[in-house]
Amino acid sequence: MYKKILLLVVLFSFSNAVLMQEGNLFREKKELMSVKSELNDFYEAKELEYQKRRAELESMGKKIKQEEKEIIKIRDENQKILDEIKRVKTTKAMKLYDKMKLSVVVNIFNKMIEDGKFDEVFDIMVRMKNKRVMKLLKKLDTTIAEKIMAKMRVLKNNKNKGVK
């Protein structure tokens, strides 16, 4: 009988231990599921925040590209206006130099070239009458005349090739 009682006590203890172990496992599983749920919620919130920020950045990128195109367009328009002003100014100067005495024009051109305005002198001379240009080239320093003639050849070759 003691054996039976002892056996019952051992079986009861063993079954109680198994039930307690199953209860602990169930609690741990429940805690893990809770942590998993919290992590999923956190991840979803961060994913939504990321998507929102990404959309904002893409929107800003599009806006920047659009503004860049507008700036380039305005810059190109302004450059055309400046080119036109320069062309008109050069044409007016060319007409003025065409009417001046040759020695005065040579002195002015020499001074402009000294001041680093060789391109301006060249632009004016290109628009002048050929006869007047030839007279000016005879009066200018030979190195300057050579540079002007070389630049005129390049301009003529570019025009023949269709380059502006």
Q: Would the pTM count as exceeding 0.85?
A: no
* Residue-wise DSSP of 69-126: HHHHHHHHHHHHHHHHHHHHHHHHHHHHHHHS-HHHHHHHHHHHHHTT-HHHHHHHHH
Each residue's pLDDT tens digit, 86-101: 888 777 777 777 778 8
Taking all residues of the chain, what is their mean pLDDT, rounded to a whole number? 83
The pLDDT of 128-137, averaged and rounded, is 82
The pLDDT of 7-25, averaged and rounded, is 64
Distance between CA 138 and CA 1 in Å, rounded?
A: 143
Task: Report the percent of the chain where pLDDT is more than 90.
Answer: 26
Please tell me the predicted confidence (pLDDT) of residue 89: 78
Closest by CA position to 155, among listed 127, 129, 131: 127
Ranges of each domain in the chain: 1-78, 100-164
Phi, psi of 56, rounded to the nearest 5 degrees: -60, -45
